[in-house]
Amino acid sequence: MLTTIIYRSRLCNSVAFKEIESMVAIANKNNELKNVTGILLFNGIHFFQLLEGPEKVVKEIYSTICEDERHYNVVELLCDYAPARHFGKAGMELFDLREYSKEKVLQAVLNQGTTRYQLAYNDRALQFFRSFVMGNYNANYFEIPPAESWLFVKDESSVSLSQPHGECTFAFQPIIDPLAGEIIAYEALVRTLSGRSPEEFFSAFEGDCVYKADLESKRTAFEMARMLPLKNKLLSINLMPMTLVKMPGAVDILLKDLAANQIVPEQVIVEFTENAVISNFDEFSAAVKALKYAGINVAIDHFGAGGGGLLLLSRFQPDRIKINRDLIENIHKSGPQQSILLSIIQCCRLLEIQISVVGVEKIEEWMWLESAGIEYFQGNLFAPASLNGLPAIAWPEKKTPF
Binding site for ligand C2E (CB under 6 A): 173, 189-190, 197-198, 214, 217, 238-240, 271, 273, 301-302, 325, 358-361, 378-380, 385
User: Which residue number, 238 or 334, has a Cβ lying nearer to Mn ion?
Assistant: 238
Residue type, 1: M
Minimal distance, residue 357 CB to ligand C2E, in Å: 10
* Cβ contact 368:332 at 8 Å: yes
| CB of 197 vs ligand C2E, minimal distance in Å | 5
Residues of 218-227 as b/e, b for ≥16 C-beta within 10 angstroms? bbbbbbbbee
- Residue 294's nearest CA partner among 230, 242, 249, 357 is 249
Residue 278 touches which member of Mn ion, ligand C2E, none, C-beta under 5-8 Å by kind: none
Nearer residue to Mn ion within complex by CB, 76 or 271: 271
Q: Which does 296 bind (CB under 5 to 8 A by kind): Mn ion, ligand C2E, none?
A: none
Interacting partner of 198 out of Mn ion, ligand C2E, none (Cβ under 5 to 8 A depending on kind): ligand C2E
Q: Which is nearest to 396 in space by CA: 158, 144, 155?
A: 155
Residue 28 interacting entry, from ligand C2E, Mn ion, none, C-beta within 5 to 8 Å by type = none
CA dist 244 and 321 (Å) reads 19
Please report the sign of the dihedral spanned by the C-alpha atoms of residue 266, residue 246, residue 284, residue 206: positive
d(CA 253, CA 145): 49
Q: At its nearest, how many Å lie between Mn ion and the CB of residue 272?
A: 9
Calpha distance 313→298 (Å, rounded): 13
Cβ at position 358, least distance to ligand C2E in Å:
5
Given Mn ion, ligand C2E, none, residue 40, with its beta carbon under 5 to 8 Å by kind, binds none
Q: Which is nearer to ligand C2E, 71 or 218 (CB)?
A: 218
Pairing mode, strands 234-238 and 46-54: unpaired
CA distance 3 to 79: 7
Q: How far is the CB of 346 from ligand C2E (least distance, A)?
A: 23
Which among Mn ion, ligand C2E, none contacts residue 75 (Cβ within 5 to 8 A by kind)?
A: none
Smallest separation, CB 173 to ligand C2E (Å)? 6
CA atoms of 51 and 43, how far apart (whole Å) = 18
Question: Footprint of Mn ion on this chain (CB under 5 A)?
Answer: 238, 271, 301
Q: Contact at 8 Å (CB) between 318 and 353?
A: yes
